[in-house]
């Protein structure tokens, strides 16, 4: 099985473009590839799925333990001819100033060969020194080959022999300067796949050029590995009993398959609410949820006969006017919440449940109104990055004193962020956040559900709600 990770010395090197082109080229060659993304990024996997129709999942060594990451990788790579993992930021850049949860950390955990994408602008021999430094910084580095991006053919023909002689590593190919392949961005990173016209055609175009300029035989020689095996877990005790494996090492899926869904959980999914981890949806389904997708933008009300509600993150600030004008949906959600419907709302979903939301044009619009805060733009990232959440009391998802990894990524803030949990960064900074009770979690922090007790707890709460609704 062809398996490798695409990394770069720094952000902006073209990892997403190269990854998408590589996946498209492998698909054309009949390898049925799957994709992975290092870190908590929502958007890059959306590109893999929407533009290429390739399975894509996240691998994050802060949000998950190494055991869970190995389990996720083996589960989702099974049956494919190739697996391509896209790194994040610079190769060794992880939490804080460490390599923890970096692309290198993922390569080390999964023993993946690494294809390093380098833009050779304004350097010659120095590039060999930089590459050699990256290769020698950690042992092993896992770097097996170099791809030169945004590199003219003439320059490539000069750099390839020089780098192979001085850096002692194969240079497998190059991509020329392709301004037509550039992907637009906005305040939370790249625009989503559905927003970019002709995206599939752009990727197909780059894939054909890559195919012409890549030494496929050498790439396959360097990256052909046995299909990953599912790691064996010990026998688990009750899901809520903490053991030596830690909270984030619960079984990924139930030990026994649930044949029939036990409950219906509504999941917001449209242009405004699109930040969901595929793994979260998969584990909710595995633990007995029938996911009912709906659009707060376009539908008039929640799906009928639901037992739970999940409002993920996204870009509600870009659609505040339309969300506000859909008054029947706001009323439907408010009524369901007030009747005790188990509800989870992360980041954008949290802003939507608030009192008001200010958009990019300084216009303020009423939202659902079950939470007291009003959302407003800050003009910069707020409380950005990984954090550890600690629950102050028992609630829908959490038990008092438990800690869960999370991350925040938003340019908006709220006048009321809640006090149900404490968030803390590795540098010692901490703050109160989130609203939580027996049927609610709502806050800016994004949670990663796979390998935790969260999906079971949410489904169990939905089951109890269903039973309550069925009681005369």
Name residue, tokens 């080959």.
145
Structure tokens at 96: 């804080």
Structure tokens at 240: 């809520």
Name residue, tokens 């968030």.
423
Residue 181 has what DSSP assignment?
Answer: G
CA torsion 305→290→338→439, rounded to 10°? Answer: 150
Beta strand pairing call for 440-443 and 343-346: parallel
Which residues, other chains included, contact 358 with Cβ-Cβ below 8 Å and sequence gap of 6+? 317, 320, 364, 365, 374, 375, 376, 377, 412
Beta strand pairing call for 313-314 and 189-190: unpaired
Strand, coil or helix: what is 159?
Answer: helix
DSSP of 319-361, one letter per residue?
Answer: GHHHHHH-HHHHHHHHHHHHTT--EEEETHHHHHHSSEEE-TT
Q: How far apart are CA 317 and CA 62, in angstroms?
A: 28
Asked about 274 being catalytic, the answer comes back as: no
Helix or strand holding residue 379 (H, E)? none
Residue 190 preceded by cis peptide, ω within 30: no
- Catalytically annotated residue among 34, 38, 347, 433: 347
**In this structure, are residues 451 and 65 in contact, taking their beta carbons and an 8 Å threshold?**
yes
Helices (H) and strands (E) in the chain, counts: 13, 26
Q: Which residues are catalytic?
A: 347
């Amino acid at each position: 099985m062809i398996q490798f990770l695409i990394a770069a010395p720094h952000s902006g090197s073209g990892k997403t473009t190269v990854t998408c082109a590589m996946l498209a080229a492998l698909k054309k060659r009949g390898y049925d590839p799957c994709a992975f993304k290092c870190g908590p990024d929502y958007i890059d996997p959306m590109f893999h799925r929407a533009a290429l129709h390739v399975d894509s999942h996240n691998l994050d060594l802060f949000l998950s333990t190494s055991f869970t990451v190995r389990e996720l990788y083996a589960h989702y790579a099974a049956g494919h001819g190739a697996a391509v993992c896209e790194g994040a930021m610079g190769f060794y850049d992880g939490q804080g100033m460490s390599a923890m949860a970096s692309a290198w950390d993922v390569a080390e955990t999964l023993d993946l060969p690494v294809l390093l994408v380098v833009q050779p602008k304004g350097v010659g021999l120095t590039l060999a020194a930089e590459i050699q430094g990256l290769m020698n910084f950690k042992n092993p580095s896992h770097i097996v080959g170099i791809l030169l991006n945004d590199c003219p053919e003439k320059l490539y023909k000069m750099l390839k022999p020089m780098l192979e002689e001085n850096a002692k590593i194969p240079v497998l190919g190059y991509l020329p300067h392709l301004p037509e392949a550039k992907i637009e961005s906005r305040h939370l990173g790249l625009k989503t796949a559905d927003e970019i016209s002709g995206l599939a055609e752009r990727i197909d175009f780059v894939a054909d050029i890559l195919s012409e300029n890549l030494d496929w035989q050498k790439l396959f020689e360097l990256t052909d590995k046995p299909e990953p095996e599912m790691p064996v877990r010990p026998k688990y005790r009750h899901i809520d009993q903490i053991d030596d494996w830690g909270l984030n090492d619960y079984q990924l899926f139930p030990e026994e398959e649930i044949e029939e869904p036990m409950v219906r959980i509504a999941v917001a999914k449209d242009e405004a609410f699109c930040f969901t981890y595929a793994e979260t949806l998969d584990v909710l389904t595995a633990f007995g949820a029938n996911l009912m997708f709906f659009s707060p933008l376009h539908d008039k009300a929640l799906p009928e006969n639901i037992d739970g509600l999940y409002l993920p993150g996204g870009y509600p600030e870009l659609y505040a006017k339309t969300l506000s004008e859909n008054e029947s949906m706001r009323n439907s959600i408010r009524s369901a919440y007030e009747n005790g419907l188990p509800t989870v709302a992360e980041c954008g979903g949290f802003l939507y449940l608030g009192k008001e939301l200010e958009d990019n044009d300084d216009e303020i619009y009423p939202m659902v109104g079950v939470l007291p805060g009003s959302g407003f733009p800050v003009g910069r990232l707020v409380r950005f990055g990984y954090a550890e959440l600690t629950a102050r009391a028992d609630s829908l998802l959490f038990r008092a004193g438990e800690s869960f990894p999370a991350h925040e990524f938003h340019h908006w803030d709220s006048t009321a962020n809640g006090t149900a949990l404490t968030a803390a960064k590795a540098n010692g900074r901490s703050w109160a956040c989130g609203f939580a009770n027996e049927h609610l979690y709502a806050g800016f922090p994004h949670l990663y559900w796979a390998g935790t007790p969260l999906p079971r707890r949410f489904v169990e709460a939905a089951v109890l709600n269903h039973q309550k609704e069925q009681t005369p």
